[in-house]
Amino acid sequence: MSIISMIRKPVPVPLREAGEVEIDVRDVTIAFERDGGELVPAVDRVSFQVRRGEFICLLGPSGCGKSTLLNAVAGFETPYEGEVVVGTKVVTGPGPDRGVVFQQPRLFPWKSVRANVAHGPRMAGKSRADAGAIADELIEMVGLSRSAKALPHTLSGGMQQRVAIARALANRPNILLMDEPFGALDAQTRTVMQESLLRLWAQLDTTILFVTHDIDEAVLLADRVLVMSAGPGRIVRDLAVDLPRPRTIETTLGARFQALRRECLDLIRQQSQKAFEGTHDA
């Protein structure tokens, strides 16, 4: 063995590079059993890729399989056919590389905001002090420093959801999966949350897969909107949103936003019409 090879350091694991494929959904079908035992697909042969740092919205009518697809990426649901690859590994279950935010905040009601956010890092083996420092930083990022000691029930719905976002980010996931996270909030709060999520995403190095049935929300947030058909869910359009960033609620007033919104609206209308005809007796 030469001296050179002896002193050479081990090859470092390559850092993830911007533009690299981070989520690869390959021909995924997910089916559920009906009462009679019949398997009915909720998601039908769906394929798409998400690159590192992208903000992707899955848009579609209620019941089209958005949550099922997101759950497959999260590792809560196993594909009947196909596979989901995250980074370089096939997903076989949940993992700390993927943080998840649901429509309901699902906080520990007996724990303070700070303890809720520190919980993940504590479970991952961080010291109390380190977990607390991570929590404090994230709580500040979501604008809740003054409520760090509060219990969840004393906070508004929007504030609770900000805690849920901070908690999902606490283990420094590469990917944030969000399932209609602002769906239960009033319109004004939702707008504030959308703008603050965009600012947070710009500060972090996180890939976001965001599920919504709200067209305006999808177009405002996403780099690409994946429009789904009515169940069984398929992707009918991969729409690039070429609106400049940073985006705010003002963005929604522009002509380009309105044109993209219109395009999504027409696709969703066609899908809803098909679904209606499909369920309507002739």
- The region of 44-52, 62-70, 108-116, 139-147 touching ligand ADP under the rule CB under 6 A is 62-70
CB of 104 to ligand ADP, least distance (A): 14
62 binds, among ligand ADP, Mg ion, none (CB under 5 to 8 A by kind): ligand ADP
Tell me what percent of the chain is helix, strand and coil, each rounded to the nearest 5.
40, 25, 35
Integer Cα distance of 111 and 174 in angstroms: 26
Check if the beta carbon of residue 228 is closer than 8 Å to that of residue 60: yes
Phi and psi torsions of 178, nearest 5°: -130, 120
Nearer to ligand ADP, 67 or 271 (CB): 67
Shortest distance in whole angstroms from residue 28 CB to ligand ADP: 12
Residue 234 touches ligand ADP, criterion: CB under 6 A: no
Binding partner of residue 32 among ligand ADP, Mg ion, none, CB cut-off 5 to 8 Å per kind: ligand ADP
231 binds, among ligand ADP, Mg ion, none (CB under 5 to 8 A by kind): ligand ADP
Bridge-based pairing state of the strands 224-228 and 235-240: antiparallel
Q: Which of 32, 108, 110, 276 binds ligand ADP (CB under 6 A)?
A: 32
Q: Which of 46, 50, 67, 267: binder of ligand ADP (CB under 6 A)?
A: 67
Residue (of 38, 154, 24, 32) closest to 91 by Cα position: 24
In whole angstroms, the minimum distance from the beta carbon of 226 to ligand ADP comes to 12
CB of 277 to ligand ADP, least distance (A): 17
Stretch that binds ligand ADP, among 60-68, 88-96, 101-109, 214-222 (CB under 6 A): 60-68
Structure tokens at 114: 């700070």
Q: Is 38 helix (H, G, I), strand (E, B) or coil?
A: coil
- Which x/- pattern, by CB under 6 A, does the window 242-281 give for ligand ADP? ----------------------------------------
Alpha-carbon distance 58 to 49, whole Å?
12
User: Do you know the residue count of the chain?
Assistant: 282
Residues 6 or more apart in contact with residue 117 via CB below 8 angstroms: 134, 135, 138, 139, 163, 166, 167, 170
Please tell me whether residue 105 binds ligand ADP under the rule CB under 6 A.
Answer: no
Facing residues of 240 across strands? 224
How many of the chain's residues bind ligand ADP (CB under 6 A)? 11
Rounded Cα gap, residues 234 and 238, in angstroms? 11
Tokens of 2: 């030469």
* Contact positions vs ligand ADP (CB under 6 A): 32, 42, 60, 62-68, 231
